[in-house]
Amino acid sequence: MENDDKSNIYLSIFKRKGGEGVNTKINEKTNFFFEEKNFLEGEKILLSSEMNVKDEIILFTNKRVIILNKNSIISELDFVNIIDVKPAILEEYNEGIRNTIDFTKIKIFMKDESISILKIESGEPYNGVFQMLHYISTQNKKQ
């Protein structure tokens, strides 16, 4: 999976299982700002989300999830290291969210046993990103 560009598959799953929202968009063209800052390593930006607080931007490339804040990388999650994804039900419940339509948090389990929680726009964007990451984790389990 490392060498294969599965951009079309990822975007197809995102569109089929979810879709764009107010703050989550499919990127049709390369963003030169991110290339100039050397955030991308020959990668294509598939999706971007500006849902998070504190001026954070989440980029989904064809290889990883990059969380940025004011011109610096906060966190990176390489797709090849994702082994499972689940809705962050306890975290949602603790914030008073009871309806799955309003969920915004995805719990991502990595090969190194770390767990990250990704906050995404609720509704269609959440569904699409969740299914895309679920597909990636399923493919990783097959290897």
Mark the ranges of the chain whose per-residue pLDDT is less than 70.
1-3, 28-39, 51-54, 70
The residue type at 29: K
The pLDDT of residue 15 is 94
Q: Which of 41, 49, 42, 78 is nearest to 63 (CA)?
A: 78
Q: Which of 81, 86, 103 is nearest to 2 (CA)?
A: 81
The pLDDT of residue 54 is 64
CB 84 within 8 A of CB 106: no
The pLDDT of residue 44 is 80
Crossing angle (nearest 10°) for helices 7-17 and 124-142: 140
SS3 79: helix
Domains and CATH numbers, the chain: 7-142 (2.30.29.30)
The pLDDT of residue 143 is 78
The pLDDT of residue 1 is 42
CB 121 within 8 A of CB 98: no
**Rounded CA Rg of the chain:** 14
Four-residue CA torsion sign, 77, 14, 141, 90: positive
CB 21 within 8 A of CB 47: no
